[in-house]
Structure 1
Amino acid sequence: MDLAAARKLFGGLPVVSVATVGPDGAPHVVPLWFVWLEDALYASTRQDGRTWRNAAADPRVSVTIDVGRSWTEIAGVVLEGLAEPFPAEHPSMRGPISAWHEKYRSLLSGHGFGRFAEEVRGLAFLRVVPERIASWDHARG
Protein backbone atom coordinates (compact mmCIF):
# COMPACT_ATOMS: atom_id res chain seq x y z
CA MET A 1 0.00 0.00 0.00
CA ASP A 2 1.41 3.39 -0.91
CA LEU A 3 0.92 6.62 1.02
CA ALA A 4 -1.97 7.84 -1.18
CA ALA A 5 -3.89 4.58 -0.65
CA ALA A 6 -3.24 4.70 3.10
CA ARG A 7 -4.51 8.29 3.29
CA LYS A 8 -7.67 7.34 1.40
CA LEU A 9 -8.37 4.26 3.52
CA PHE A 10 -7.47 5.62 6.95
CA GLY A 11 -7.64 9.44 6.75
CA GLY A 12 -11.16 9.67 8.18
CA LEU A 13 -10.42 7.59 11.29
CA PRO A 14 -10.35 9.49 14.59
CA VAL A 15 -7.04 8.30 16.08
CA VAL A 16 -3.63 6.89 15.30
CA SER A 17 -1.30 5.14 17.74
CA VAL A 18 2.00 7.00 17.96
CA ALA A 19 5.07 5.31 19.45
CA THR A 20 7.96 7.45 20.66
CA VAL A 21 11.22 6.50 22.34
CA GLY A 22 11.55 7.44 26.01
CA PRO A 23 14.75 8.62 27.68
CA ASP A 24 15.41 5.08 28.93
CA GLY A 25 14.93 3.66 25.41
CA ALA A 26 11.52 2.17 26.21
CA PRO A 27 8.65 2.67 23.76
CA HIS A 28 5.77 4.96 24.73
CA VAL A 29 2.56 4.44 22.70
CA VAL A 30 -0.48 6.73 22.82
CA PRO A 31 -3.61 7.28 20.73
CA LEU A 32 -3.64 10.76 19.19
CA TRP A 33 -5.96 12.76 16.97
CA PHE A 34 -4.49 13.42 13.55
CA VAL A 35 -4.86 14.89 10.09
CA TRP A 36 -3.09 14.04 6.89
CA LEU A 37 -2.00 16.82 4.56
CA GLU A 38 -0.11 16.00 1.38
CA ASP A 39 2.89 13.84 2.32
CA ALA A 40 2.78 14.39 6.09
CA LEU A 41 0.72 13.15 9.01
CA TYR A 42 0.14 15.66 11.83
CA ALA A 43 -0.66 14.13 15.23
CA SER A 44 -1.88 16.46 17.97
CA THR A 45 -0.37 16.35 21.43
CA ARG A 46 0.50 18.79 24.22
CA GLN A 47 3.76 20.64 24.72
CA ASP A 48 3.90 19.57 28.36
CA GLY A 49 3.31 15.88 27.59
CA ARG A 50 5.58 12.86 27.49
CA THR A 51 4.98 12.27 23.77
CA TRP A 52 6.16 15.81 22.93
CA ARG A 53 9.23 15.54 25.18
CA ASN A 54 10.15 12.14 23.77
CA ALA A 55 9.86 13.30 20.14
CA ALA A 56 11.84 16.47 20.85
CA ALA A 57 14.68 14.41 22.37
CA ASP A 58 14.57 11.50 19.88
CA PRO A 59 12.51 12.12 16.75
CA ARG A 60 12.16 8.46 15.72
CA VAL A 61 8.47 7.50 15.71
CA SER A 62 6.20 4.75 14.51
CA VAL A 63 2.56 5.46 13.70
CA THR A 64 -0.01 2.65 13.47
CA ILE A 65 -3.48 3.01 11.97
CA ASP A 66 -5.75 -0.01 11.78
CA VAL A 67 -9.36 -1.06 11.34
CA GLY A 68 -11.44 -4.23 11.59
CA ARG A 69 -12.58 -6.59 14.29
CA SER A 70 -12.39 -10.06 12.81
CA TRP A 71 -9.34 -11.59 11.17
CA THR A 72 -10.86 -11.29 7.69
CA GLU A 73 -11.59 -7.56 8.16
CA ILE A 74 -8.28 -6.37 9.62
CA ALA A 75 -6.38 -3.77 7.61
CA GLY A 76 -3.70 -1.39 8.71
CA VAL A 77 -0.55 0.53 8.05
CA VAL A 78 2.58 1.33 10.03
CA LEU A 79 4.43 4.51 9.13
CA GLU A 80 7.97 5.02 10.37
CA GLY A 81 9.82 8.30 10.22
CA LEU A 82 11.09 11.30 12.12
CA ALA A 83 8.73 13.57 14.05
CA GLU A 84 9.12 17.32 13.87
CA PRO A 85 7.44 18.90 16.91
CA PHE A 86 5.64 22.22 16.33
CA PRO A 87 3.60 24.33 18.74
CA ALA A 88 0.12 24.97 17.32
CA GLU A 89 0.84 28.69 16.99
CA HIS A 90 3.84 28.11 14.68
CA PRO A 91 3.14 29.77 11.28
CA SER A 92 3.62 26.47 9.41
CA MET A 93 0.78 24.91 11.42
CA ARG A 94 -2.00 27.12 10.00
CA GLY A 95 -3.03 24.51 7.43
CA PRO A 96 -2.82 21.52 9.79
CA ILE A 97 -4.67 23.39 12.57
CA SER A 98 -7.44 24.39 10.17
CA ALA A 99 -7.79 20.80 8.88
CA TRP A 100 -7.67 19.45 12.45
CA HIS A 101 -10.46 21.80 13.61
CA GLU A 102 -12.58 20.92 10.59
CA LYS A 103 -12.15 17.15 11.04
CA TYR A 104 -12.82 17.00 14.77
CA ARG A 105 -15.54 19.64 14.84
CA SER A 106 -17.40 17.38 12.39
CA LEU A 107 -16.56 14.07 14.10
CA LEU A 108 -17.26 15.32 17.61
CA SER A 109 -20.11 17.76 17.13
CA GLY A 110 -22.23 17.72 20.25
CA HIS A 111 -19.48 16.02 22.27
CA GLY A 112 -17.61 19.05 23.57
CA PHE A 113 -14.99 19.61 20.87
CA GLY A 114 -15.69 23.34 20.67
CA ARG A 115 -15.13 23.80 24.37
CA PHE A 116 -12.05 21.57 24.32
CA ALA A 117 -10.54 23.51 21.40
CA GLU A 118 -11.11 26.81 23.21
CA GLU A 119 -9.69 25.64 26.54
CA VAL A 120 -6.77 23.42 25.54
CA ARG A 121 -3.41 24.91 26.48
CA GLY A 122 -0.09 23.98 24.95
CA LEU A 123 -1.58 22.32 21.87
CA ALA A 124 1.16 21.02 19.60
CA PHE A 125 1.64 18.78 16.60
CA LEU A 126 4.11 16.15 15.54
CA ARG A 127 4.70 16.33 11.79
CA VAL A 128 5.70 12.93 10.42
CA VAL A 129 6.76 12.37 6.82
CA PRO A 130 6.88 8.57 6.46
CA GLU A 131 10.23 7.10 5.46
CA ARG A 132 8.95 3.50 5.55
CA ILE A 133 5.46 2.07 5.14
CA ALA A 134 4.26 -1.44 5.98
CA SER A 135 0.65 -2.45 5.44
CA TRP A 136 -1.76 -5.37 5.60
CA ASP A 137 -5.29 -5.96 4.39
CA HIS A 138 -6.84 -9.32 5.28
CA ALA A 139 -10.03 -8.45 3.42
CA ARG A 140 -8.06 -8.70 0.19
CA GLY A 141 -6.72 -12.11 1.06
Structure 2
Amino acid sequence: MTEDEAWEFVARAHTGILTTLRADGAPVTLPMWFVVLGRAVYLSTPPRAAKLARVRRDPRAAFLVEAGRAWVDLRAVHVSGRLQVVDDDAARQQVRDLLDTKYAGFRLPPERLPAAVRAAYAERTVLRLDPQGRLLRWDNSRIRLAEPPAAPGPGSHSPTEH
Protein backbone atom coordinates (compact mmCIF):
# COMPACT_ATOMS: atom_id res chain seq x y z
CA MET A 1 0.00 0.00 0.00
CA THR A 2 1.54 3.31 -1.03
CA GLU A 3 1.38 6.32 1.29
CA ASP A 4 -1.36 7.89 -0.86
CA GLU A 5 -3.35 4.64 -0.77
CA ALA A 6 -2.83 4.45 3.00
CA TRP A 7 -4.27 7.94 3.52
CA GLU A 8 -7.22 7.12 1.23
CA PHE A 9 -7.82 3.95 3.26
CA VAL A 10 -7.73 5.92 6.53
CA ALA A 11 -10.09 8.60 5.17
CA ARG A 12 -12.65 5.96 4.08
CA ALA A 13 -12.56 4.05 7.39
CA HIS A 14 -15.53 4.34 9.72
CA THR A 15 -13.94 4.05 13.16
CA GLY A 16 -10.36 4.49 14.28
CA ILE A 17 -8.65 3.32 17.43
CA LEU A 18 -6.93 6.14 19.34
CA THR A 19 -4.29 5.45 21.97
CA THR A 20 -3.22 8.12 24.44
CA LEU A 21 -1.02 7.84 27.54
CA ARG A 22 -1.83 8.11 31.24
CA ALA A 23 0.51 10.03 33.54
CA ASP A 24 2.23 6.74 34.45
CA GLY A 25 2.75 5.93 30.76
CA ALA A 26 0.05 3.25 30.57
CA PRO A 27 -1.81 3.34 27.24
CA VAL A 28 -5.54 3.98 27.00
CA THR A 29 -7.12 2.84 23.74
CA LEU A 30 -10.56 3.99 22.59
CA PRO A 31 -12.66 3.78 19.41
CA MET A 32 -13.21 7.20 17.82
CA TRP A 33 -15.01 8.73 14.89
CA PHE A 34 -12.77 10.99 12.84
CA VAL A 35 -12.10 12.73 9.55
CA VAL A 36 -8.93 13.22 7.53
CA LEU A 37 -7.91 16.60 6.16
CA GLY A 38 -4.68 16.70 4.24
CA ARG A 39 -2.41 14.26 6.01
CA ALA A 40 -3.78 14.77 9.51
CA VAL A 41 -6.47 12.97 11.51
CA TYR A 42 -9.11 15.13 13.22
CA LEU A 43 -11.27 14.00 16.13
CA SER A 44 -13.61 15.66 18.56
CA THR A 45 -14.27 15.00 22.20
CA PRO A 46 -16.20 16.58 25.07
CA PRO A 47 -14.08 19.25 26.80
CA ARG A 48 -14.19 17.38 30.12
CA ALA A 49 -13.16 14.01 28.65
CA ALA A 50 -10.29 12.25 30.39
CA LYS A 51 -8.57 11.76 27.03
CA LEU A 52 -8.28 15.52 26.66
CA ALA A 53 -6.49 15.78 30.01
CA ARG A 54 -4.14 12.99 28.89
CA VAL A 55 -3.42 14.81 25.62
CA ARG A 56 -2.65 18.06 27.40
CA ARG A 57 -0.23 16.24 29.71
CA ASP A 58 1.43 14.14 26.96
CA PRO A 59 0.46 14.75 23.32
CA ARG A 60 1.99 11.52 22.01
CA ALA A 61 -0.66 9.30 20.46
CA ALA A 62 -1.25 6.47 18.02
CA PHE A 63 -4.19 5.90 15.70
CA LEU A 64 -5.12 2.68 13.90
CA VAL A 65 -7.71 1.81 11.28
CA GLU A 66 -8.16 -1.73 10.02
CA ALA A 67 -10.40 -3.82 7.81
CA GLY A 68 -10.83 -7.46 6.86
CA ARG A 69 -11.93 -10.61 8.62
CA ALA A 70 -9.93 -13.38 6.98
CA TRP A 71 -6.13 -13.19 7.26
CA VAL A 72 -5.79 -12.75 3.50
CA ASP A 73 -8.09 -9.70 3.66
CA LEU A 74 -6.47 -7.85 6.58
CA ARG A 75 -5.45 -4.26 5.87
CA ALA A 76 -4.42 -1.61 8.35
CA VAL A 77 -2.72 1.74 8.76
CA HIS A 78 -1.10 2.87 12.02
CA VAL A 79 -0.33 6.57 12.52
CA SER A 80 1.97 7.73 15.31
CA GLY A 81 2.23 11.38 16.16
CA ARG A 82 1.21 14.20 18.44
CA LEU A 83 -2.27 15.46 19.22
CA GLN A 84 -3.04 19.12 19.66
CA VAL A 85 -6.17 21.10 20.37
CA VAL A 86 -7.40 23.04 17.33
CA ASP A 87 -7.92 26.66 18.36
CA ASP A 88 -8.88 28.17 15.00
CA ASP A 89 -12.67 28.71 14.91
CA ALA A 90 -12.98 28.15 11.15
CA ALA A 91 -10.96 24.92 11.29
CA ARG A 92 -13.02 23.65 14.25
CA GLN A 93 -16.26 24.36 12.42
CA GLN A 94 -14.99 22.68 9.25
CA VAL A 95 -14.09 19.53 11.20
CA ARG A 96 -17.44 19.50 13.03
CA ASP A 97 -19.29 19.86 9.72
CA LEU A 98 -17.26 17.04 8.15
CA LEU A 99 -17.88 14.79 11.16
CA ASP A 100 -21.61 15.60 11.06
CA THR A 101 -21.76 14.70 7.37
CA LYS A 102 -19.68 11.51 7.67
CA TYR A 103 -21.63 10.14 10.65
CA ALA A 104 -25.13 11.59 10.08
CA GLY A 105 -26.67 8.17 9.54
CA PHE A 106 -25.05 6.66 12.63
CA ARG A 107 -25.94 9.14 15.37
CA LEU A 108 -29.00 8.97 17.58
CA PRO A 109 -31.31 11.97 17.57
CA PRO A 110 -30.32 14.13 20.57
CA GLU A 111 -33.82 13.88 22.07
CA ARG A 112 -33.29 10.12 22.52
CA LEU A 113 -30.20 10.65 24.67
CA PRO A 114 -30.33 11.19 28.43
CA ALA A 115 -29.93 14.85 29.41
CA ALA A 116 -26.50 14.24 30.99
CA VAL A 117 -25.18 12.66 27.79
CA ARG A 118 -26.64 15.48 25.65
CA ALA A 119 -24.97 18.03 27.93
CA ALA A 120 -21.60 16.22 27.81
CA TYR A 121 -21.63 16.17 24.00
CA ALA A 122 -23.09 19.66 23.46
CA GLU A 123 -19.62 21.22 23.37
CA ARG A 124 -16.81 19.55 21.47
CA THR A 125 -13.08 20.09 21.52
CA VAL A 126 -11.42 19.34 18.19
CA LEU A 127 -8.08 17.54 18.15
CA ARG A 128 -5.61 17.13 15.30
CA LEU A 129 -3.19 14.22 15.13
CA ASP A 130 -0.09 15.31 13.22
CA PRO A 131 1.81 12.23 12.04
CA GLN A 132 5.45 11.85 12.96
CA GLY A 133 7.65 9.35 11.21
CA ARG A 134 6.39 6.96 8.61
CA LEU A 135 3.01 5.29 8.54
CA LEU A 136 2.92 1.59 9.35
CA ARG A 137 0.73 -0.03 6.72
CA TRP A 138 -0.07 -3.48 5.49
CA ASP A 139 -2.43 -5.13 3.05
CA ASN A 140 -2.44 -8.91 3.14
CA SER A 141 -4.66 -9.02 0.05
CA ARG A 142 -1.56 -8.09 -1.96
CA ILE A 143 0.45 -11.07 -0.76
CA ARG A 144 0.91 -13.51 -3.59
CA LEU A 145 -0.22 -16.84 -2.19
CA ALA A 146 1.20 -20.18 -3.34
CA GLU A 147 -1.12 -22.23 -5.47
CA PRO A 148 -2.72 -25.15 -3.60
CA PRO A 149 -1.24 -28.54 -4.48
CA ALA A 150 -2.89 -30.19 -7.46
CA ALA A 151 -5.39 -32.90 -6.66
CA PRO A 152 -4.23 -36.41 -7.57
CA GLY A 153 -5.37 -37.44 -11.03
CA PRO A 154 -7.38 -40.58 -11.88
CA GLY A 155 -5.48 -43.78 -11.27
CA SER A 156 -2.93 -42.20 -8.96
CA HIS A 157 -2.63 -43.26 -5.36
CA SER A 158 -1.82 -41.25 -2.29
CA PRO A 159 1.27 -42.41 -0.35
CA THR A 160 -0.92 -43.81 2.42
CA GLU A 161 -3.12 -45.97 0.12
CA HIS A 162 -2.31 -49.68 -0.25
Q: What secondary structure sits across from 1:72 in the alignment?
A: helix
Contact map agreement 1:81 1:130 (CA 8 A) in 2: yes
Matched, 1:138 2:140: yes
Q: Which one of the candidate residues 105, 112, 122 is aligned to 2:108? A: 112
| Counterpart code for 2:86 | F
| Counterpart code for 1:112 | L
In 1: Cα distance, 2:6 partner to 2:94 partner: 20
Contact map agreement 1:46 1:122 (CA 8 A) in 2: yes
Query: Which structure has the highest strand share of the two?
Result: 1
TM-aligned CA distance change 1:23 to 1:9, over 3 Å: same
Q: Name the counterpart of 1:28.
A: 28
Contact map agreement 1:3 1:39 (CA 8 A) in 2: no
Contact map agreement 1:84 1:128 (CA 8 A) in 2: yes
Larger Rg belongs to: 2
Residue identity over aligned pairs, in percent, reads: 24
Ranges in structure 1 where 5+ consecutive residues have no aligned partner: none
Contact map agreement 2:14 2:33 (CA 8 A) in 1: yes
| Counterpart code for 1:37 | L
Q: Name the counterpart of 2:96.
A: 97
| Counterpart code for 1:104 | Y
Shift of 1:38: 1.1
Q: What secondary structure sits across from 2:34 in the alignment?
A: strand
TM-aligned CA distance change 1:61 to 1:28, over 3 Å: same
Ranges in structure 2 where 5+ consecutive residues have no aligned partner: 144-162
Q: Name the counterpart of 1:84.
A: 84
| Counterpart code for 2:101 | E
TM-aligned CA distance change 1:129 to 1:3, over 3 Å: farther
Question: TM-score scaled by structure 2?
Answer: 0.75
Shift of 1:113: 5.1
In 1: Cα distance, 2:102 partner to 2:139 partner: 25
In 2: Cα distance, 1:129 partner to 1:3 partner: 15
Q: What secondary structure sits across from 2:122 in the alignment?
A: coil
Question: TM-score scaled by structure 1?
Answer: 0.85
Shift of 1:2: 4.5
Shift of 1:13: 2.1
Q: Name the counterpart of 2:12.
A: 12
| Counterpart code for 2:56 | A
Q: Name the counterpart of 1:42.
A: 42
| Counterpart code for 1:140 | R
- The alignment's C-alpha RMSD in Å is 2.2
